[in-house]
Amino acid sequence: MSLILITGVSTGIGRALAERFARDGWVVVGTVRDVAKMAGVEWPGDVRLEALDLAERGSGRALAGRVLATHGTPDVLVNNAGSLQFTPVEDETAESVEGLYRVNVFEPVDLIRALVPAMREAGGGTVVNVTSLGGRMVFPFFTTYNSSKHALEGYSEGLWHELQLSNIRVKVVEPGFVETAIWDKSVRSRGESPYQGTGPYREAMASMAAFEGAISNRSTPEQAAEEIRDAILDPSDRLRYPVAAYARPMLRARRWLGELRVMRFFHKRWMEA
């Protein structure tokens, strides 16, 4: 029976993806911050929970050790868990930047490095990194968040070359706009009250938050999970998979119109409104 390890399955895309693979008969090892809080959840198949807080240094490698010892070598690793940050760079601290990179880059990378030898020994596997539309484009006030996703994109492209030698496929999934709680914890909360940060950005941040809040035609986590499942099971050597609402058309527009023209368009829309 196939085994898939998915980080961040308490809500959103991770939860939907875990349920989808469980229904397909896979053994799913899913991570949550607090296993006890998930005690009442009924899963549609064999879902085994492990605690993981990516903000803790060494958490990725520690998880790999527990999974290998308890559940065996995953056929698929999905680095899905992450953190979102919506703020001007002037309002960030070195600690907040490092913290975001630890969650979105450092610990997922350590998790990969800890599992690859076991995957190689098992004959192969698939590593899937969930980045973002913002892993290909950068939006104002998401600068550090988007740059962390760019970092994971670059890391994944290098892995694509290196891990083919071990029959390990590498996939990058780039979600567009999905209806998940991560937005409520960041952008929408900022949009509900006047932004109190660095003065020059107040109006532009309000404009950006209003734009985000007006997007109603989002993909559901379940719709995104279906697309991600197809990407995971794709036996080809394709690397990047834009999924969910607006991801593909926005990337096509950037390619056809040129990145500078698209940057100017969005700058005027968001920063000069």
Torsion over CA of 83, 87, 90 and 91, rounded to 10 degrees?
A: -80
> What is the three-class DSSP state of 21?
helix
Identify the CA nearest to 189 among candidates 203, 206, 202: 206
Let me know if 101 is a catalytic residue. no
Catalytic residue among 101, 145, 155, 241: 145
Torsion over CA of 55, 73, 50 and 160, rounded to 10 degrees?
A: 30
Rg (CA), the chain: 19
Distance CA 140, CA 119 (A): 39
Residue with tokens 């290998």: 68
Q: Which residues are catalytic?
A: 145
